[in-house]
Amino acid sequence: MSPKSVESYTHDTRVFLLWAQRRKITDLRSLGRDEVVAHITHLRKEGRADTTLRRNLAALRVFSRYLLGEKLIDADFTADISYSASWKRLPKTLSSDEVDRLLSAPDDQTPEGVRDGAMLEILYATGMRVSELVGLKIPQIHLDAGFSIVQGKGDKTRLVPVGDLARDRVREYLETARSALLRGRPSDFVFVTRRGGGMTRQAFWVRLRRWALAAEIERPVSPHMLRHSFATHLLHHGADLRAIQSMLGHADISTTEIYTHIDRDSLRDTLDEHHPRG
């Protein structure tokens, strides 16, 4: 597993053990299905994302099997646990109108505004994760060919098409604002700051919130909402689920299928609104 996965699994396991300890469970052999389900449900009530809950359960599966192999427990306490539908949370998305307002919000009279506009445009156009966006380097962008090479989770790479509007906006940024920000300093990163380094996730998050307020979007907006909006809007317009899976970089189609639930909700709303007996 990647170092980041090891770190995440270790953290999740430690959190679970501390949770169990607070409930006076100090013997590993006392851990069972009920404790795992109660812990995941607790995290769900705290507002943790569906992906975080899945990762926690995966970490506990690995931990349980390790304990079993070391003969520290008598049975795998995660053996009969499946990820319950009641734990799932539908991803939050922006409407097409909200996306249009957000993409138009950055000030194109400043280098930072041109950069931010290009970042928002390509984020929505490709469905990249924010870590993939800020990690983009010049050799990964092929505007004339209309695609980008994305370095995803587990160092897996994938080709993602880039639409005309995003290409034009990124090209404008590369030809004007980027050099103004770098002021002669070298950098491999596509999106840079005035300090000459690459944009960070945290800094981009702050910039995104600023432009969301300027676009008069009242609810909190995150970079991942643009990724969810990308997938949802593609699905609404008839895109193939397998194609969306490939562009998002999901290893398993079941991860992508969450967007079909949103589509069904949309269909149900349409029926309720327009059918005479809806």
Q: Find all residues with CB under 8 Å of 20, minimum gap 6, and list them.
A: 26, 31, 35, 39
Active site residue 137: no
Catalytic residue among 9, 124, 173, 259: 259
- C-alpha 89/C-alpha 83 separation (Å) is 12
Query: Confidence band (pLDDT; 50, 70, 90) for 88?
Result: low
237 vs 102, more confident: 102
Residue 105 has pLDDT above 60, yes or no: yes
Residues linked to residue 158 through DSSP beta bridges, in sequence order: 150
Look over the chain and give the mean of its residue pLDDT values, rounded to a whole number. Answer: 89
Active site residue 210: no
Q: pLDDT tens for residues 24-64?
A: 888 888 888 888 888 988 888 888 888 888 899 999 999 99
Catalytic residue among 39, 115, 129, 167: 129
In the predicted model, what is the mean pLDDT of residues 254-259?
78
Active site residue 259: yes
Active site residue 224: yes
List Cα–Cα distances, 184 to 1, 180, 198, 260, in angstroms: 39, 8, 15, 47
Active site residue 61: no
In the predicted model, what is the mean pLDDT of residues 136-149?
95
Active site residue 227: yes
pLDDT at 89: 63
Catalytic residue among 54, 101, 137, 153: 153
Q: pLDDT tens for residues 150-206?
A: 988 777 899 999 999 999 999 999 999 999 999 999 999 999 999 999 999 999 999
What percentage of the chain reaches a pLDDT higher than 90? 64
pLDDT at 226: 95
In the predicted model, what is the mean pLDDT of residues 226-246?
92
